Amino acid sequence: MVGLRESAALRTGAHPDGRPLSPREREALLKPYLPSDSESTDHSTEPSPVRRPAQKTQRKKPMRDFLRQQLYLVTHLTIQALFSLYVRLRTAYHAVSDRIFGLLYYHHRSPELIQKDIKDLDRLPQHLSIILDFNDDEQRGAGLEGLVNDISEVAAWCASAGIPALSIYEKTGVLKNYLPATHRKISQTLESYFGPTKKPTLSLRAPNLPSFSPPATPPEPSSASASDANGRAPLSHLTILLLSAEDGRSTLVDLTKTLTEMSQRSKLAPSDISPELIDAEITESVMGEPDLLILFGPRVELKGYPPWQIRLTEIL
């Protein structure tokens, strides 16, 4: 620390005897109390900042990336090839098996074989309904002919199985314009199955159109009353009904309008309108409820089928 004399001299700026201090004398008084040059130099220099080690840049490895991509590509192609092979083998297996079963169990237009196939069934539907598609573009203009052929085969199968009523739904209703030709083709198919003398009579009709049933020779009493080997009497008459989309919801709309007009004109009391009345009117104008509806496709698509008639129908 600075002594009392030195501090008093520095404070007053003069010696004890009154003489003023010169700058050199001031420095001489303070020099013993100042730090040395080496210490000041050490304290004046700031500590150097700690250097962080430089981050190493990752070197790109193009060869390793290329090999990895090739491995992924080979794995993908291998999986794809194995799956394609599996699909083709499965398709070929099903095609061959279907062909073999088709040859073994084909009915060969013989009603007896069809009756043999259904003899173990507990019950048969009295009214069978099916949904078919009219694909004229896919069959290069032969869609109508293919549709009529399908209907003829189904009708012959129903006649052989003893199902008296068949309804066929086709959305566009194109068959309604060809009732005579359709009736003639179905009759020819029935004749090829049963022969000219034993074939069942046929009536073909559509809603809001007259029934097409040309006169035919009825079966002889002996053949009509005879039974087959399974105890079933052969079918003597087959009724076919052609349906389209206009026979579905539009029929319900028209019936609703008619009942509304009758109620407004006081010809029918609102309390008289019941599900039984609607069912009776639709059954009379369109058809009754089928026992079984068969769809030909992977999904259940009714395609505008009359909704009222399938409330309790079994769909297959």
pLDDT tens per residue, range 136-172: 666 565 678 888 898 999 999 998 888 999 999 988 8
List the Cα angle 259/261/267 in 5-degree steps.
80
Q: Which range, 75-79, 129-133, 295-299, is most confident?
A: 75-79
What pTM value is reported for the model? 0.58
Contact 154, 166 (CB under 8 A): yes
CB atoms within 10 A of CB 260: 13
How far is 171 from 186, CA to CA, in rounded Å?
20
Residues in the chain: 316
Contact 86, 74 (CB under 8 A): no
* Topology (CATH level 3) of domain 111-219+233-248+286-315: Undecaprenyl pyrophosphate synthetase (3.40.1180)
Please compute the mean of the pLDDT values over residues 215-237 and round it to a whole number. 52
Please compute the mean of the pLDDT values over residues 7-14 and round it to a whole number. 72
Q: What is the DSSP letter of 300?
A: -
| Owner of token pair 């259940």 | 300
Q: What is the DSSP letter of 199?
A: P
Domain spans in the chain, listed from the N-terminal domain onward:
4-36, 64-106, 111-219+233-248+286-315
pLDDT given for residue 83 in this prediction: 96
Q: Which range, 64-68, 209-213, 265-269, is most confident?
A: 64-68
C-alpha distances (whole Å) from 147 to each of 133, 134, 191, 199, 277 are: 8, 7, 19, 22, 35
Among residues 126, 125, 176, the alpha carbon closest in space to that of 148 is found at 176
How far is 95 from 109, CA to CA, in rounded Å?
23
| Owner of token pair 């491995």 | 71
pLDDT tens per residue, range 122-135: 888 899 999 988 87
> Which amino acid, 257?
K
Contacts 24+ apart (CB under 8 A), 297-302: 301/131, 302/131
Q: Which residues contact 14 (CB under 8 A, 6 or more apart)?
A: 20, 21
Q: Which range, 2-6, 173-177, 262-266, 270-274, is most confident?
A: 173-177
Q: Which range, 97-111, 223-237, 275-289, is most confident?
A: 97-111
269 vs 224: which has the higher pLDDT? 269
The pair of three-digit structure tokens given for residue 95, joined into one six-digit string: 């095609």
Q: Given CA atoms 171, 313, 282, 268 in this order, what sign does their dihedral have? A: negative
Tell me the pLDDT band of 221, cut-offs 50, 70 and 90. Answer: very low
How far is 202 from 217, CA to CA, in rounded Å?
11
pLDDT at residue 45 greater than cutoff 70: no
The pair of three-digit structure tokens given for residue 226, joined into one six-digit string: 């005879």
